[in-house]
Each structure stands twice: as structure tokens, then as C-alpha cells.
Structure 1
Amino acid sequence: MRGRQWGWSGIALALACAFMPAARAAQWEAGDLGEVALNGQATLVGQAKERLRSPYASPVSLEPEYERSYSLSATAFMGWRPARDTELFFNPEMVQGLPLSHLTGLGGLTNGEMQKVGGTSPTFYRARLFARQTFGLGGGEEQVEADANQFARTVDRHRVVITLGNFAVNDVFDDNGVAHDPRTQFLNWSFLTYGAWDFPADARGYTGGAAAELVWDDWTLRAGRFRLPKEANGLRLQNNLGADVGDALELERRHEVGGRPGALRLLAFRNRTSMGSFQDALDAWAAAGGAASGTVPEVTAVRRRQDKRGLGLTVEQELADDVSGLVRAARSDGGSEVFAFAEIDASLAAALRVGGSYWGRGEDEIGLGLAQNGLSSAHVAYLRAGGLGYFVGDGAIDYAPERIAEAYYSLGLPGGLSLTFDYQRIVNPAYNRARGPVDVAALRLHAQW
């Protein structure tokens, strides 16, 4: 295995943070200055990948040999509420880790924490720095519970909420209680959000921009505009919110079925920046002689300003006491290269969460998930011709949808700790039935306060 250095100083720091004696969701009055809050988390994930069948491979393929991987993150969630409807948050974060196969070789990569990792030495940076302003419009009141980056308080049932600054797009969009957070739920990227949503973010999963939410009883309409990276999956973000941008629009309807809560969410998204088109790459390659030229198509060589558009739909429903399910589907136009998230053009995922109250372990939970990822016809043709994407491309492929099954058991421990056992089986990795399947086991230690 390459890079065996585990960065023990960073691990020691995160574990020290994990065991700090602190009250969960700490929030207190600060005299004339308003309210302040301090929360934190630390997450250590270790993964191991078994050998897989591999008659051929490329530099961005999953390696055929046994591999080990780890990721480590520690975050402080600092909040200040200077006025009743004004909240400010700052999240410094530390990460380090070693990915499987250089973080390539799959549509649905195996560790959602890995999008934040920069190497085996601890890296410190600002994850979030944003303001949230709420404008009450009446309609009665409801209670908001304290959480990381959220003050406990009473708000109007009719309200407008503006979020402005640096944060993660899925802090606001696609929020749900089943498949959302790789620190406590499913690890695979296919369950983190819509797999086919190339959502605006830097290489760590954060961006800058603004989002507005209109909440009206059981309905919420959200709209946002965000900065895209200057380079595909890079850390530096574009500065012009009028040109190189990612837009999102989401309509949510909360409901009850048989007295049990649920929600429907419809998402529309668009990215506009300089991206390479798979068809343009194929056309340029054919004009140069195609396979007879001894070359392969290159999507990064034909970049031009264009749009990537798509839709997503989520159904979330409580099925029984302490049991919830989710089905999520999305599709992008699939015409251009991946720019900010996973190399997936069509995605379908179903997930089930079962709480441990059924076996007398109220802090435990089981998660079961199935996902299928697919590519557009132009994307498939590009890979069949030997083209490589940012994450996938084996030099040629025998196309088949990538299928993922994931199961985890989270064991609740005293002091805000949890220990999770996770298993993933991935069939047709990187959309190639000629390779794999691959099995990945993981152990996750998480602390929050």
C-alpha cells in the first residue's frame, strides 16, 4: 500500500477533541452580546478493500490489490446570535487521510469524508463562515431544536431565511434524516446526496454563495446560487457569481401518511462554466483519425462555456416508530465532464434506517441502502473509446450500471460517541462489468458534543 504514514499527531488531536468533557449542543447567554454556541465533532474512518478481478486497468482505475485507507476530521461549530433573527457561524476544520486508489475508480466512491481530505499530514482550514437571517411572517410559531450550526429558538411558521457566505450546498438543500451525513450514516457518495447532482463545491465539499428559503406551513421553496471551482474538482473557487455558477431550486412538501411524517422534494439544478463535452471530444478525436491515430479522446482538450442541467426527486417517509425510508432519483444531461462531485449522470438510491429501540438499544441504529449509478450514451462512448474521466475510465469499458449495496450498524456509546461497522459491495465498478466486483469494509468512530 502506498503512503503508509498515518499522521499520528493529527489522529491524537482529533481523538483528544472527541473525548473532551463538553455538553452536547452547548448554548448559553452572553449578556448584552446575545447568545453563543459551541459544538464539535471528530470522525475517524478506516476502510479496507479486498482484491478484485482486473484483466486490465488505467491510471484512474481501482487498484486490483488489497488496500487500506483512512480519513480523519475534526470540526468546531461556533455560533453567535447577536439578535433574535440573526445568526453567525464559523467552522474551523482539520482533516487528513489516505484514500483508496488515489480517490478514483468508482462512480460512487466509498467514503463521503474523503472529499475533504488533502493528504496524510493534518490540514487546517475554514470550512464554513456564514450568516443566516430570518424574517418572520407570522402564521403561528414552531420550535427549532439546537444542533451544530443551529440555535434552539422559536420561529414563525411563515418565514423567509437567507443564508450567505461559505458553507456546503447540502447544508440547505436535500436535507433529510436517512441518507445525508457520512459521519453518522451511509459512507458511500451515492447516499450523500443525489449522485447525478454535480453540486457546486470545492474539493472539500464547501462553496460560497447565497440561498433563500420561503417556508410556508408545510411547504418550502429554496433557491441558491453558488461558486464553482476554477478547475474541475479543485480547491480554488470562481469569484464571479454572474458567470461561472451553480444554481439550485428545490420545492419541498411535508406531509403525513397514516399519521406518520414524510416529505417530497423536487430539485432542479444548473451549472454554467467552461467544461469539456464528451461528444465534442469524440468528434475531435474522429477528425484526427480516431483509433487509427493511436490516441484516445480527451474531454479536457475541448472545454467551452456551457450548461449542465438536471432534475432530482426525493421521497422520505417514516414507516413505523423509529423506522424511516428514503428513495432518491436524479438525472443530469450527461453531456459534459464532472466538475465538482461524482462521475454519475443518472442515479437511483433507496435507504432504510431502523433505530435500536426495537432491541433495547435506543442509541443504536441499522442502515441498509441500495444504489444504481449510470452514464449518458455520449459518456459511455467516450469511455469505450479509451477516454479517461476525472474519476473513472479503465482504458475501455464493457458498460453496465454501477450497483452498490451498503449496510451499517452504529453502536451508541456514552459521552456522545458512536462506533459504526460498515460494509459495501460494488458491482461493475466504474461502469465496467469486466472488472470487479469489489468489497469494502469500514470501521468508523464518531464523537459529537
Structure 2
Amino acid sequence: MCLSPRLLLLLLFSLPLVGRAQTVPGQSTTPATSTVPAAPPIGPDARPAPDSTRRSGWSLHFQQTVITQWHANFAAPYTGEYSLQPREKAKTSLTSTVFIGRRLWKGASVYFNPELAGGSGLSAARGIAGFTNGETFRIGDPAPKLYVARLFLRQVWALSDSKRGTSQTVNDDGPNQVAGPVPDHFLALNVGKFSLSDYFDQNSYSHDPRTQFFNWALMSAGAWDYPANTRGYTIGGVLEYVTPELAIRASSALTPTQANGPTLNFHYGRAHSETLELTHIYNLRGHVGTVRLLGFRTVAGMGDYRTAIQQPDVDITQTRQAGRTKTGVALNAEQHISNDLGLFARASYNDGRRETWAFTEIDRSVSLGAVSAGTSWHRPDDRLGVAVLANGLSQPHRAYLAAGGYGFIIGDGQLNYRPEYIGEAYYSFNFTHQHATISPDYQFVLHPAYNRDRGPVHVLALRAHVAF
């Protein structure tokens, strides 16, 4: 991989942390703050390893992910300030996270995640709405930065009814999950700093760019403009009601002061975002499936696309006004087919009247994919994933970009509109029960940034991931 000297030194410096972390069975590095049962993992189940944290009430884990991406030269009769560059060198991103958890009192635990991130995405993570690297951020300085990713309190209250008592399951120790018994019918409150994707829009097969698909519109519903700062985190609260077959989650969280800005707006009365999600778990001929329906409403000082077109310089920042809203919905489904195969699909929509405020410039999105274990070729711990997706824009958003406007991730200076189509395939070579993986990845992008005049783009990548 093409690592800069600075990133290489950082990688070598952080490796000693691995030896001090506890070793547990392979898990997703997406924090396991949700205890709603998901579709069974494809491939053989990992057996829990002996772990002293079960007795101590502590949880300590570590992950590091390095992704290098490169794209072939492509046709581009014109290129704007926020376009994907037709020619550029390979780019590398790096994240290192320590997951620290501590049980406090009955049902309560606190979690702290210091994180270090550096490097950059292709074209500074611009020029494709469904961007190709979910581990990179739209930050101009590629120098590694240390920051607090998560710091939150979780309180769980067991519930029961008159017909049956409350049974319990035993959670293994994991990232942001202290080992111990958990009721199967409970109410939980999470308060602090976290990512809303820790709780909402979960999917067993397509949610974590550190171990699964790389693309932004595959790790989350593309049109869900979820509240977050530039690095993907917010401050707020999430309330959960969970039973074995049904879960309801509701949240209220802060939004950034500027579109995709690093600073959260603490004037809650003028800027906030609410999310509601219903989850239903069912059994289809012995195979578990899950359906999630999500709705959101964001209030912030957003600009208006139609008003911006009427401005002489077509600048949406000049049209921002407090109290404007954006609403949307998302549908997310996953189906366990066999011990070696799982399917997933997503569809999402937002009203598209006001500017994208936090995630990415997608107003409509659909995706479909499959993940298979490598059992049939004698690599049961390996994973092969294939997915396709289509992203679209509202009519006001299209007109704004065609008039020469730009957002915080796309803007070619003009637009010959077509939906953005992306296909992705990855193969994950798993070592030592998924503690270490190497994953080559290929993405094909047709009409990048919704522009028929540019592309197509072929993106190759290699990901190295370790987790303990």
C-alpha cells in the first residue's frame, strides 16, 4: 500500500496498543450498543474466548483500519472545484480506535472511544455522492488527529409482563459492550457523544466500512441526512424499547453549525434532529429476517435550492435561514438465506428542498446486495460481498447544480443529469478468527456526481484491518 512516511510512522507507533487489548472472537467494529437480535452471521459461529473482563466489569478493545484507493483515468470534458479529478495519485486513509467500557451499577455502563484518524480520500472525498471510502472524512488537512469519538452512558431497565417473566441472554465482551446478562425485554437510554448509525439503520451484511462494503451509500441509507459533525459524531440521546421480535428507537441530537461542519450547534431550540425507527424480526421457514423503517426530521439553518438559483452567484450559503426543515424515510431489510449466504436491501428518500446538511448529497437511493462465506472453497471465515446501488437528486437540487452551484461534496460547474449508479465487490481474507483481514475491493461508478458527461470511473482499493 502507498503510505506516506507520516502515516507509516503513525501506524508503527500505534501497533503496540494491540498487545494490550483483550482478544475476543471476531466481531464487527461497529459498536455493539444495540442488543436487538440480528440475522445469524454467515459462516461458522466463533466461540467465545476466555476473558478476564467478564469478571472485572471492564471492556477494552482496539481497531485499526488502513484503506488505499486508486482510480483509473477517465473522460471529463470539464472539471469543477468539487469534482472528482480525472487523474490523481492513490490516496490512503487510516483510523485507530480504542474502545473502553466500564459497568457502573445495575444496568448501567459508560463508554469512552478515543480515536485517531488521518490521510484523505480520492479528490479530498469529493466528486461522487456515494463516495467510495466510508473511513475517510471531508477534512482538508490529512495530518493525523486525535479526538474523542464517543463518550456516553447507557442505562438498561429490565421489563416484564404478567404472562411471562423477563428472560436473559449473556452478551459477550465486545467493542462498546461489557460482558454480562441482558434482558430480552427492556428499556434503554443512551446519552452522550456517539454516532446515530450506532443505533439506527443497522444491517448485518452492509453497515461497517471497516469490515464490509466501503461505499457510503452501502454503509448507511444514502438519503438519511443524519445529524453529525464532519467525522460522523453528534451529541444527543437515544431511547430504546426492545423485545425479541420488535424494537422501537427514538433519538434527538445536535446538528452542525454549518453544512458538514466540524462544530455542533448547541442552540438546541434552533437546530436539532429527531429520528424514529421501528424494527421487526421475523422467521421465514427457519431463516431469520429483519425489517427496519426509519423516519427523520432535521431543523437547521439550511439554504434553499430554488432561492439559490435566483442569486447572481448561485451560492446556497447566501440563502441560509434558521428554522428550516428536512424530512425523510428509509426502509432497510436483511434476510438470512443459509449458513453461507445473506441478502440485504435499502431504499431511502428525503424531500430534497433544502441543502444537504450532514451526510452526503443524495435525495433518493436504493441498494441491493449479497454476502457469502467462503465455505464452498474451503475458506469459511472469508467473506465475498457484491452490491449495486442507484442514487438520485430532487428536481430543485438538480437545477441548482446545473446552474453552476455546488454543495460540500459535489459540483462540476454544470450538469447533464443522470442517476449515479455504483457497483461494488469486495473479498475479505480473514485470519485468526477475523482479528486481522485483508480486503481487495472494486467499485464501478457510472455518472459520478449525477453527471453523464463525466466517467465512468473504475476504483480499486485495498483494506487492512486489525481488531482485538
Assess same fold via TM > 0.5.
yes
Q: Shift of the alpha carbon at 1:16? A: 4.2
* Aligned length in residues: 435
Contact 2:385 2:425 in 1 (8 A): yes
Counterpart of 1:44 (choices 66, 76, 80) is 66
Q: Shift of the alpha carbon at 1:330? A: 0.3
User: For residues 414 and 386 of structure 1, what CA distance do their matches in structure 2 show?
Assistant: 51
Matches of residues 291-306 of structure 1 in structure 2 within 5 Å? 295-305=312-322, 306=324
Contact 1:27 1:37 in 2 (8 A): no
Match of 1:221 in 2: 248
User: For residues 384 and 93 of structure 1, what CA distance do their matches in structure 2 show?
Assistant: 39
Counterpart of 1:115 (choices 116, 134, 137) is 137
Residue range with higher mean Cα deviation, 9-18 or 54-63: 9-18
Matched, 1:347 2:395: no
Contact 1:356 1:362 in 2 (8 A): yes
Q: Shift of the alpha carbon at 1:235? A: 1.1
Question: Secondary structure, in 3 states, of the residue corresponding to 1:113?
Answer: coil
Matched to 2:155, the amino acid is Q
Q: Spell out, residue by residue over 1:349-382, the C-alpha distance to the aligned partner (whole angstroms, 9 max, x if none).
A: 1121101222221221001111100000000111
Match of 1:92 in 2: 114
Matched, 1:443 2:462: yes
Q: Shift of the alpha carbon at 1:7? A: 3.0
Matched, 1:170 2:187: no
Counterpart of 1:204 (choices 231, 235, 244) is 231
Contact 1:28 1:37 in 2 (8 A): no
Q: Spell out, residue by residue over 1:235-287, the C-alpha distance to the aligned partner (whole angstroms, 9 max, x if none).
A: 111113333111100000001111101111000001101000101112x33xx
Matched to 2:316, the amino acid is V
Match of 1:60 in 2: 82
TM-aligned CA distance change 1:27 to 1:162, over 3 Å: farther
Matched to 2:75, the amino acid is R
Matched to 2:449, the amino acid is A
Match of 1:397 in 2: 415
Matches of residues 96-245 of structure 1 in structure 2 within 5 Å? 96-115=118-137, 119-138=141-160, 139-245=166-272
Q: Which runs of 5+ in 1 are unaligned?
A: 286-294
Matches of residues 202-351 of structure 1 in structure 2 within 5 Å? 202-282=229-309, 284-285=310-311, 295-305=312-322, 306-351=324-369
TM-aligned CA distance change 1:417 to 1:4, over 3 Å: closer
TM-aligned CA distance change 1:161 to 1:118, over 3 Å: farther
Q: Shift of the alpha carbon at 1:395? A: 0.8
Q: Shift of the alpha carbon at 1:322? A: 2.4
User: For residues 299 and 237 of structure 1, what CA distance do their matches in structure 2 show?
Assistant: 20
TM-aligned CA distance change 1:331 to 1:72, over 3 Å: same
Please, what TM-score do these two structures have when normalized by structure 1?
A: 0.93
User: For residues 243 and 365 of structure 1, what CA distance do their matches in structure 2 show?
Assistant: 45
Question: Secondary structure, in 3 states, of the residue corresponding to 1:88?
Answer: strand
Q: Share of identical aligned residues, percent?
A: 36
TM-aligned CA distance change 1:421 to 1:339, over 3 Å: same
User: For residues 380 and 139 of structure 2, what CA distance do their matches in structure 1 show?
Assistant: 32
User: For residues 408 and 262 of structure 2, what CA distance do their matches in structure 1 show?
Assistant: 15
Question: Secondary structure, in 3 states, of the residue corresponding to 1:399?
Answer: coil
Q: Shift of the alpha carbon at 1:145? A: 3.2
Question: Secondary structure, in 3 states, of the residue corresponding to 2:128?
Answer: coil
User: For residues 317 and 145 of structure 1, what CA distance do their matches in structure 2 show?
Assistant: 24
Question: Secondary structure, in 3 states, of the residue corresponding to 2:376?
Answer: helix
Matched to 2:422, the amino acid is I
User: For residues 6 and 92 of structure 2, what CA distance do their matches in structure 1 show?
Assistant: 8
Match of 1:12 in 2: 12
TM-aligned CA distance change 1:275 to 1:404, over 3 Å: same
Q: Shift of the alpha carbon at 1:52? A: 1.0
TM-aligned CA distance change 1:344 to 1:375, over 3 Å: same
Q: Shift of the alpha carbon at 1:390? A: 1.3
Contact 1:18 1:42 in 2 (8 A): no
TM-aligned CA distance change 1:114 to 1:421, over 3 Å: same
Q: Which runs of 5+ in 2 are unaligned?
A: 26-49, 161-165
Residue range with higher mean Cα deviation, 21-30 or 159-168: 21-30
Q: Shift of the alpha carbon at 1:142? A: 2.8
Question: Secondary structure, in 3 states, of the residue corresponding to 1:83?
Answer: coil
Matched to 1:445, the amino acid is A
Counterpart of 1:429 (choices 435, 442, 448) is 448
Match of 1:376 in 2: 394
Question: Secondary structure, in 3 states, of the residue corresponding to 1:362?
Answer: strand
Q: Shift of the alpha carbon at 1:392? A: 1.0
User: For residues 29 and 105 of structure 1, what CA distance do their matches in structure 2 show?
Assistant: 45
Match of 1:366 in 2: 384
Contact 1:7 1:120 in 2 (8 A): no
Contact 1:250 1:265 in 2 (8 A): yes
Q: Shift of the alpha carbon at 1:117? A: 6.0
- Structure 1 or 2: more strand by fraction: 1
Contact 2:53 2:179 in 1 (8 A): no
Match of 2:430 in 1: 412
Q: Spell out, residue by residue over 1:191-247, the C-alpha distance to the aligned partner (whole angstroms, 9 max, x if none).
A: 110000111111111111000000123000000001111111111111133331111
TM-aligned CA distance change 1:312 to 1:21, over 3 Å: closer
Match of 1:289 in 2: none
TM-aligned CA distance change 1:55 to 1:210, over 3 Å: same
